[in-house]
Structure 1
Amino acid sequence: MSPPPSQNTPLTIALWQTSPCGDVQACLAQLKETIAVAAAAGADVFVTPEMFIGGYNIGPARIHAHAAEFDEIRRALCRLAAQHEIALVIGVAIPATPLPYNGCIAIDANGVECARYHKTHLFGDTDRAQFTAGEQLSPVFELAGWRIGLAICYDIEFPEVARDLALRGADLIVTPTANMEPFDTVATRLVAARAEENAVYVAYCNYVGAEGEFSYNGLSCVCGPDGQDQTRADTCATGLFYATLSHTTLEDTRQSQTHLQDRRPDLYGDDR
């Protein structure tokens, strides 16, 4: 089990369920408007879907072009976070060789980048044609008084990813995604299972609408450490969806859900 949280601070998270946009500058303009709304509503952390800056299913050439703009995009995001005094978790292409990373960055409310993650589990031909797989799981880092880990889309479907983050002390796993039909059960079943089996919060932020051959299925959600929905969007709504996370709820749940301390790593070949 993780040690007690360093603070007893509630956290309000805003998930932006939106349609993909293939233009970097248009994405930044939309972000500017929507972040202001979330900040005014009292959100502490704002989350976008996977590869929000410029789109996900757009082909290798455009992904390369967007990754080349990463430094400028990063500076713009840091300015937005500081201006509105809100932390951000944003999906973005990050330069790498031979293909860019499918990445996300976490920026604190002072506009300082505090973590960066590259998607480690690539899904299907689209991911493999466009991206280089990351080589390590997310760090667990402090953001707005909470210990947070990152995953991207397909990553959260692997129980080992969430378990590793929980064992390293994560209280919340933030997961930008670009999940499509017909895989509704990822959001309705697997995300809740990852939360409950690890007694952590999981925030899952998806697109709606179409992009190329994909029809995105929404269902963005925050699941509590008992696996219950704290907020959930439907399959077609756009907008901001809020949930307030509680350290008290987290610790109370961990008193009864003791999977982590009841594990038998001597049987699993797991040295944790």
Structure 2
Amino acid sequence: MPKVAAVSPTIVFGDIERNLESIVTAVVEAAHRGAELVVAPELATSGYVFEDATEARGLALRADDALLTNLGHRLPADVITVFGYAERDGDRLFNTAAVIGHGRRLADYRKSHLWDQEKAVFTPGDHPGLLVDTDDFRLGVAICYDNEFPEVPRGLALSGASILALPVNWPLVPRPPQEHPPETVQAMAAARSSRLPIVIADRHGSERDVPWTGGSAIIDAHGWIADEQVEGIALADVELFPDDKAIGPRNDVFADRRPELY
């Protein structure tokens, strides 16, 4: 039963080196509290609210930039860390999540479902999420709006993911009093329908007049919120069900599927 964390350090738009320092500090603190997986927000190195693609290009990093590759030596080697950055690859820009662990870069995932103004800045990725094998679990990775397409978390779970890392930037939207953010509700449903814990790392505060939801949360495999924090660290032990999808003596969320009817 791994301990997982979602961190929401203060992100300063445009200050890449300061933001990287904030990410490292938050991950180290979470590791000291026992976390084995730590997720930080989407586009955490740059900020999110770009004026245009030109501004984003100036704040984007190549995947082999030393600022990123050196993180393998700065982050705790026994912790898997996931965080978002703006990636520059030739003439194209991607909204990307880096996965770092065991002292090295393990993988990168390029967001495949772009939200609103992102479409004027980024190229969509070619894969509906990413799978990364670690020593202790098979990690699924998606980014923000990806999770609003049920096929993405379900597809990752069907492919063997035992936990989903979800860096996000959720703009605050109106909701009835006492209700969870709609994106949280969708994550709870995705977790419950596939017995797939989800670690959500969201922004807090605001950026360029865009208020953030502050929806960092750990969703367990039954769809319940194990911990949530507006800022700081959400931390919880989560049970993984990579093979056991039974939800009682007569039902199984995977075995009961009837894809021939869908």
Structure 2-normalised TM-score? 0.88
Q: Which residue of 1 aligns with 2:43?
A: 51
Residue number among 94, 113, 125 corresponding to 1:121 in the alignment: 113
Aligned to 2:146: 155
Which is further off, 11-20 or 168-177? 11-20
Residues 1:11 and 2:2 are matched in the alignment: yes
Across the aligned residues of Structure 1 and Structure 2, the Cα RMSD in angstroms comes to: 2.0
Cα displacement (A) at 1:144: 4.4
CA contact (8 A) 2:5 2:235 kept: yes
Letter in 2 for 1:105: A
Counterpart Cα distance in 2 of 1:245 and 1:254: 17
Deviation at 1:252, TM superposition (A): 6.5
- Distance, in Å, in 2 between the alignment partners of 1:63 and 1:12 is 34
d(CA) in 1 for partners of 2:224, 2:245:
12
Offset at residue 69 of structure 1 (A): 5.0
Instruction: Verify the 8 A CA contact 2:5 2:218 in the aligned structure 1.
Output: no
**For the residues of structure 2 that align with 1:15 and 1:144, how far apart are their CA atoms?**
20
Please name the residue that 1:67 is paired with.
60
Comparing 221-230 and 182-191, the one that deviates more: 182-191
Q: Counterparts in 2 of 1:57-206, with a 5 A limit? A: 57-59=49-51, 60-70=53-63, 71-82=65-76, 85-96=78-89, 98-108=91-101, 110-124=102-116, 126-182=117-173, 185-206=181-202
Which residue of the partner structure matches residue 227 of structure 1? 223
2:22 alignment partner in structure 1: 30
| 1:20 and 1:209 in contact (8 A); partners too | no
* Percent of aligned positions that are identical: 26
Q: 1:228 to 1:245 in 2, by over 3 A?
A: same
In structure 2, the CA distance between the partners of 1:197 and 1:226, relative to structure 1 (3 Å rule), is same
State the Cα deviation string for residues 85-126 of structure 1 (Å, max 9, x = none).
422101111123543110001111x222222111100111x2
Taking the aligned partners of 2:125 and 2:29, their CA distance within structure 1 comes to 33
What amino acid is the match of 2:155? D
Unaligned runs of 5+ in 2: 175-179
Amino acid at match of 1:122: L
Amino acid at match of 1:61: T
- Partners of 1:197 and 1:96 in 2: CA distance: 36
Partner Cα distance (1:252, 1:161) in 2: 20
Look up the match of 1:267. Answer: 261
What is the rounded CA distance, in whole Å, between the counterparts of 1:218 and 1:18 in structure 2? Answer: 11
Residue pair 1:100, 1:130 contacting (<8 A) in 2 also: yes
CA 1:165–1:252: 2 relative to 1, 3 Å: closer
User: Which amino acid counterpart does residue 26 of structure 1 have in structure 2?
Assistant: R
- CA 1:100–1:49 in structure 2 vs 1: closer, same or farther (change >3 Å)? same
Residue 212 (structure 1) aligned to one of 192, 208, 228 = 208
Aligned AA (2:54) = A
Aligned length: 252
Report the Cα distance in structure 2 between the residues aligned to 1:33 and 1:177, rounded to whole angstroms.
19
Stretches of structure 1 lacking an aligned partner (at least 5 in a row): 1-9
